[in-house]
Amino acid sequence: MAFRVGVSHDFVSSDHPTSWGDIGLDRLAAEGIAWEFLPPDNGVLTAEHVAGFDAVVFGTPTVTAATVSGSTPPRLLARFGVGLDAVDVDACTRAGVAVTNTPDGARRAVATAALTLILATFHRLVDKNALARRPAWDGRLDLIGQGLTGRTVGAVGLGNIASELFALMAPFATVNLAHDPYRDPREARARGVELTGLEDLFTRSDVVVVTAALTAQTRHLVNAGLLALMRPRAVLVNVSRGPIVDTAALTEALAAGRLFGAGLDVTDPEPLPVGHPLLVLPNVVLAPHALAWTDEMARGNGASVVQAIIDVRQGRAPRYLADRAVLDHPRLRERVTA
């Protein structure tokens, strides 16, 4: 029986295999799996978009309950990326639609982006880049930065990204802390990480890196109270989701000089409106929620979604399921072995 795969329209490119370049879709053809691009979606996948496909690969579109409300929704929605805050996972589970993401593909790329923001902020790269473009380099000594070696780095969340980041920082001999209520302290210690309370983490860290997922519990988790606990020369880095950090509170702390700086790949809102103070503060390094977007991430995410598709076609449960309860749904139970 033919197995059809749809790829959301944000992947369409006029001069590359996809908008992300080569993401390894040739492997689907080698497995005898046909795929095609979906029509434009206006930011939301509809039931009509996904009807009749066995699996759909998607990047930026939102997935709602309406997406999977048709009579023939896919068995798999494979997110090209990690965040699932724009996906109604509960509705998909009720409809018997498995949802996967790609933490294995994004792990190294996002961790590298976090390290890039730490170093760029510590070394005052934005200020020094601006100075280097001027006719005279007066004032270089006014831009003395900070070294990372021996500093204390705290991660909000100890998942794939934070674990990879700590591994990347090994040559800097950092002291590694994390706050994650779902992690076993023994497992963390085996990775060279001390689990601690959130307030203790913000008090002790020279760098706080936000890597936790955005949920109702983590929205504005990093608030004025926690920011007030940070050391005067500390740095906040966010590579997760903007709303985890209270933007107004962070802006106030940075403008008042209570922090050394911030490195933000994500903000709230996105993009920041014209005239927002974060756009002009000299101690802020900004990226457009794309610092990790590299050929390395494209290949990694692509390999992950392709493997999920092949697993489902061959009757295996894909590795990175958002909700394993979906395997109990009749639509999947008859085709996929847990």
The DSSP secondary structure of 278-329, one letter per residue, reads GGT-TTEEE--S-TT-SHHHHHHHHHHHHHHHHHHHTTB--SSBS-GGGGGS
Ordered DSSP codes for 151-182: -EEEEES-SHHHHHHHHHTGGGT-EEEEE-TT
- Mean pLDDT, residues 137-146: 94
Q: What is the mean pLDDT of residues 129-152?
A: 95
Mean pLDDT of 185-190: 94
The first and second tokens of residue 173, run together, are: 């001999």
* Closest to 204 (Cα-Cα) out of 226, 185, 183: 226
Share of the chain above pLDDT 70, in %: 99
Q: Quick one: pLDDT band at residue 1, thresholds 50, 70, 90? A: low
**Which pLDDT does position 334 carry in this prediction?**
80
Instruction: Answer yes or no: are the C-beta atoms of 39 and 49 closer than 8 Å.
Output: yes
Confidence check: pLDDT of 335 > 90:
no
Write down the pLDDT at residue 48. 97
CATH 3.40.50.720 positions along the chain are 4-101+294-333, 105-286
Q: Which pTM does this prediction carry?
A: 0.91
Note the CATH number of domain 105-286: 3.40.50.720
Strand partners, 63: 45, 87
Q: Are 286 and 239 in contact (CB under 8 A)?
A: no
pLDDT-derived band at 169, boundaries 50, 70, 90:
very high
Per residue in 293-334, pLDDT (tens digit) is 999 999 999 999 999 999 999 999 999 999 999 999 999 988
90-123 residue pLDDT tens: 999 999 999 999 999 999 999 999 999 999 999 9
Q: Flag whether pLDDT at 264 surpasses 80.
A: yes
The mean of the pLDDT values for the chain is 96
Enumerate the active-site residues: 241, 270, 289
Which residue pairs from 33-36 have beta carbons closer than 8 angstroms and sit at least 24 positions apart in sequence? 33/3, 33/5, 33/309, 33/310, 33/313, 34/2, 34/3, 34/4, 34/5, 35/4, 35/5, 35/6, 35/7, 36/4, 36/5, 36/6, 36/7
- Angstrom CA distances, 16 to 38, 254, 280, 290, stand at 17, 41, 35, 19
- What is the reported pLDDT for 207? 98
Instruction: Please tell me the CATH code under which domain 4-101+294-333 is placed.
Output: 3.40.50.720
What's the mean pLDDT in 226-238? 97
pLDDT exceeds 90 at position 150: yes
Percent of the chain at pLDDT above 90?
97
Tokens representing residue 217 in the block: 């519990």
